[in-house]
Amino acid sequence: MTINPIIKAEGLVKRYSELTAVNGVSFHVEEGEMLGFLGPNGAGKTTTMKMIQCVSPKTSGKLEVFGMDVSVHQREIKKYMGVVPQENNLDPDFTVYENLRNYSRYFDIPGEEAEKRIEELLNFVQLQDKKNAMTEALSGGMKRRLVLARALLNNPRLIVLDEPTVGLDPQARHLIWDKLRSLKKRGVTIVLTTHYLDEAEKLCDRLVVMDYGKILVDGEPGQIIKDHIGTGVVEIDNHPELVECLQKSDSSYEVMGDIIVIYTNDPIHITDQLSMECSVDKMTTRKATLEDVFLKLTGRKLRE
């Protein structure tokens, strides 16, 4: 039996006048999977999310959600989808409870059932004691949890989250992480964008790295690190004689300002080699991370 992916994109393109924001990307998301989109500002992540959400029409290519074309079946797709946008777009004129109750009406959820779901969700995101508070009185973390609760009111099969923990303190971030893991255990499919690479590495089954509208990498976090960096990183101070020494070896390295970064699967061998052949006595050895991959693929230049 063949199971169709929850999301399937083939040659997906989005243009704004002369700007090509998404340039022929292809990817899929399986049911129950948590997929993370990474990339610098302007890489095309949020634009891709908006096309999946059926709020921004694609220019060309193929994009299906739940096996339905996003250009034709927007209403049916949205019925089974929950969205956590980048901004907290809660209604400031309503209480926590009223925000959820009013939102439930968009999905024609009967009153008694809506009450039940609201109670369950307020408990789920730990906001039961803030039920009657105005949203403007909530902390940033509370607002983010309320937006998540709102996205779950229609019992979605797919949740799309754009920077779900941006600006939150560590405690609030970890609480959101716990809730996303809990949802995944229930079989909910989750797609998220994030600039927090530790978040992506801890939560996601698979990652897509985008830049300039294209997909650079698609794979499991651990495998991506292994394929592009290795298991370890050795850092040494940048001196011209060290660069000259490294050029004579078969080491994979990059010069990053005052630091030389060496990627390796055998840090001990590299440090021994540097000590003997390059007369280096001060080195830092650490485990390779997703941040190393991100910077290697997308560069260190600041994006606005």
Q: Does residue 190 sit in the same domain as residue 251?
A: no
Number of domains in the chain: 2
Residue 302 lies in a domain: no
Residue 294 lies in a domain: no
- Is the confidence at residue 299, as pLDDT, over 80? no
Q: Give CA–CA dist 202/221, Å, rounded.
A: 9
Residue 55 lies in a domain: yes
Q: Give CA–CA dist 186/150, Å, rounded.
A: 18
Q: Does residue 174 sit in the same domain as residue 61?
A: yes
Residue 188 lies in a domain: yes
Q: Does residue 121 sit in the same domain as residue 247?
A: no
Minimum mean pLDDT among 200-209, 210-219, 292-301: which range? 292-301
Q: What is the pLDDT of residue 181?
A: 95
Q: Does residue 214 sit in the same domain as residue 137?
A: yes
27 class by beta-carbon count within 10 Å (0-12 exposed, 13-18 middle, 19+ buried) = buried
Segments forming the whole domain that contains residue 237: 230-287
Q: Does residue 256 sit in the same domain as residue 170?
A: no
Q: Does residue 36 sit in the same domain as residue 111?
A: yes
Q: Does residue 83 sit in the same domain as residue 215?
A: yes
Q: Does residue 186 sit in the same domain as residue 242?
A: no
Angle in degrees, CA 134, 135, 136, rounded to 5: 95
Q: Give CA–CA dist 207/202, Å, rounded.
A: 11
pLDDT digits (tens, 9 = 90+) for 221-258: 999 999 999 889 999 988 888 888 888 777 788 888 88
CB 270 within 8 Å of CB 280: no
Q: Give CA–CA dist 179/296, Å, rounded.
A: 31
Q: What is the CATH number of the domain that holds 250?
A: 3.30.70
pLDDT digits (tens, 9 = 90+) for 101-133: 999 999 999 999 999 999 999 999 999 999 999
Two structure tokens written together for 82: 């929950």
Q: Give CA–CA dist 144/166, Å, rounded.
A: 9
pLDDT digits (tens, 9 = 90+) for 65-102: 999 999 999 999 999 999 999 888 999 999 999 999 99
269 class by beta-carbon count within 10 Å (0-12 exposed, 13-18 middle, 19+ buried) = exposed
Tokens 């730990």 appear where? 126
- How many other CB atoms are found less than 10 A from the CB of residue 283? 16
